[in-house]
Structure 1
Amino acid sequence: MNLLNRAIVQQKIFGFYKNNILIQMQIPKLINVSSEVMNIHIIPTQTKHFQTTYTKKYRLIPGLAYTLKVRFCPDEWRYFYDCIQVHCKGEENLLIPVHAYPVIDDLHIPPHIDLSAVPLGQSHAIPLRCSSPIDFEFQVYVIQPHEAFSIHPLAGVIPANGEVKIMVTFSPFQYETSHVTIQLVISQFNTKPYLCTITGSSTPHLNIR
């Protein structure tokens, strides 16, 4: 059995997102969870944007670990990649990928939005803000549609250091409470979609002036 495949590697994925370039420190660990002593050779990251340091151990006994410090120094706003190679005699190399990428840190999409009761129609704006100096594309998927709701745009670009709005218009055809669920996806590495359910209602007494 490959001893390295029995080691637990705790990977960290970097992100930098402020107006000034952010330098971060992450600490992945390589733990010997086997029952045998391992002689390990580590080949650190090779590019100038990542610097890897660790305390050299000639033998890694069961239960002990290497703690690797990875310092990230970006010089522009883009995706970066490197890797750490771990070699054990007689075994295949183990690769620990290291990623760094710009992200939006000031995007706040509530899971639920309740529109006030309306007689005919109402529009609600969902702002998408970006404080990073680069653009981010976005796409909106209507997961649970309803004919009383219209949503636009369904795709677009959040401008660098700017804002764009998704307009949700509620135009009920009858007196009822209606729901629509949308999913927002941002074009950034390792992204997770945002789900939002929007509720609108209309009642007869609202037509009385």
Structure 2
Amino acid sequence: MCFFLILATTDSILLAVMSYDRYVAICNPLHYPLVMKQTKCTQLAVVSWFSGVPFHVGQTCQIFSLHFCNSNLIDHFFCDISPVLKLACGDTSVNELYVYVVTILLAAIPFSLIIISYSKIIATVLRLPTAHGRSKAFSTCSSHLVVVILFYVSASITYLMPKSIHSAVSDKLLSLFYTVVTPLFNPMIYSLRNKEVIAALRRLLLRP
């Protein structure tokens, strides 16, 4: 569970980092080589990978203080925090509050940064003089936006919606989006911007 939560946080922050990369590329193209240097990229990657570690190690350690006196079968596809808390027979209000706080810090804040980045990107793109330039700029961001929507919408509903309106079935379906569907479609979504891939698909689909 701890490793799953750390990797989910890494995914969340990397999406925010990618939006910052696109913001610099579109809004400050002449400064891009100076801003997104190799050192800066390495630092952003390290922050993405390790920023969730202290939060989720603490969150996992909290689980050990709970009492589990009924079934030990998790009604879920994998060992996630919410289904585990449902098995506890004591008071889990502190644990649930911690889940909300961590979700806001590590998902809601990165998502807000993505929104800010794209608001500036859209404002810049709309000021471009040619339709070709606007189309090219939007195509650069479209694949990333699709992944952001798939990941954040499903994850936010899962972790921020009140427990009272959750069901095991809806939790399972939503979890499939940010654990299976999004990673599965990532290669296809990002590859569709590649002209060679599009040409190959056209040849495949139009082949007699």
Q: What is the TM-score when the length of structure 1 is the normalising length?
A: 0.20
Highest Rg: 1 or 2? 1
Higher share of residues assigned strand: 1
- The structure with the largest helix share of the pair is 2
Greater relative contact order: 1 or 2 (C-alpha under 8 angstroms, separation 6 or more)? Answer: 2
